[in-house]
Amino acid sequence: MKDYSKANKKWWNDVTPIHLRSKLYNLERFKKGKSSLESIEKEEIGDVKDKSLLHLMCHFGMDTLSWAREGAIVTGVDFSGDSIKLAKKLSKEIAVPARFKCCDIYELPKVLDKKFDIIFTSYGVLCWLSNIKKWAKIINHFLKKGGVFYIAELHPFTNILSHDFKIFYKYFDKGPYIDDSSGTYTDWNEDVKGFTYEWSYTISGVINALINEGLKIEYMHEFPFTMYDQFPGFMEKNEKGQYVLKNKKIQIPLLFSLKATK
Ligand SMILES: C[S@@+](CC[C@H](N)C(=O)[O-])C[C@H]1O[C@@H](n2cnc3c(N)ncnc32)[C@H](O)[C@@H]1O
């Protein structure tokens, strides 16, 4: 287990400066006040004013700070030391208060003693989880009674597809896989060395992990668009700036969102 975490942490620390200067994250626009949140989570979560919000796997904190700008009292957690350093710096620079913790998600109960109104996590998180049941336990642990867990994420259906849009992987294969492909999702041509361990969960696996913790699933939604160029050459941007498949005959789910309450 420790081995997985070490390799993955190294990769995330290495890609953090690349992501920071990437078009996808568009840091300058964020610093000028633009929210980094997608309309899906903004509309579905709604009013966060004065609510305590725990953001799991927050990277360098743009989404965490965007929720803070909306009035939430935020705590962001990530195991990448470089990401958390940047998140803290960003919080100071834009004068938006936030608490950031550098911690592996599975170790969080040892370092954080608080319950939250909202737990939020999004876009590119499930594949880094070595144990989905333990993940759901962590969520339950940190949620107040009556609190909301919300995830917006790449749809697990897309796990079967390679970057060049071929059916390549097994939907029911849990992993871990070793991914030593080059580049990163902000730019596939970046020279990124190293490898990661990744996992794959079915949609029922995610839902059942939460149900088994006693959480009530309020809804799950599926969307035919995503927010990055997941299949280069096969996607185009629509008028809302969302990435959709060029071939309109192909209709597959690219994102999903889920809300659960305690
Ligand atoms: C795709 S990013 C986060 C997505 C977020 N929406 C964003 O784009 O900023 C995934 C994050 O998960 C973090 N991560 C991966 N495994 C983790 C773990 N076991 N514990 C805590 N953080 C982890 C990585 O460091 C990375 O910052």
| Distance between CA atoms of residues 77 and 128, nearest Å | 14
The answer, yes or no, to whether residue 1 has pLDDT greater than 80, is no
Q: Whose CA is nearest to atom 19 of ligand 1?
A: 104
Residues 60-75 have a mean pLDDT of 98
Q: Is 180 exposed, middle or buried (0-12, 13-18, 19+ CB in 10 A)?
A: exposed
| Distance between CA atoms of residues 42 and 34, nearest Å | 13
Indicate whether residue 80 lines ligand 1 (CB < 6 A): yes
pLDDT tens-digit readout, 220-241: 999 999 998 999 999 999 999 9
pLDDT tens-digit readout, 173-218: 888 999 888 888 888 888 888 899 999 999 999 999 999 999 999 9
pLDDT at 2: 55
What is the DSSP-derived secondary structure letter of residue 70?
Answer: T
Helix (H, G, I), strand (E, B) or coil at 1: coil
Q: Whose CA is nearest to atom 15 of ligand 1?
A: 128
| Distance between CA atoms of residues 137 and 143, nearest Å | 10
Helix (H, G, I), strand (E, B) or coil at 36: coil
pTM for this structure? 0.97
Give strand pairing partners of 198: 177
Q: Whose CA is nearest to atom 14 of ligand 1?
A: 57
Whether 242 and 225 have beta carbons less than 8 Å apart is answered as yes
Indicate whether residue 130 lines ligand 1 (CB < 6 A): no
Indicate whether residue 104 lines ligand 1 (CB < 6 A): yes
Indicate whether residue 79 lines ligand 1 (CB < 6 A): yes
Hey, which of 22, 57, 62, 84 would you mutate to test ligand 1's pocket, going by the most ligand atoms within 8 Å of its Cβ? 57
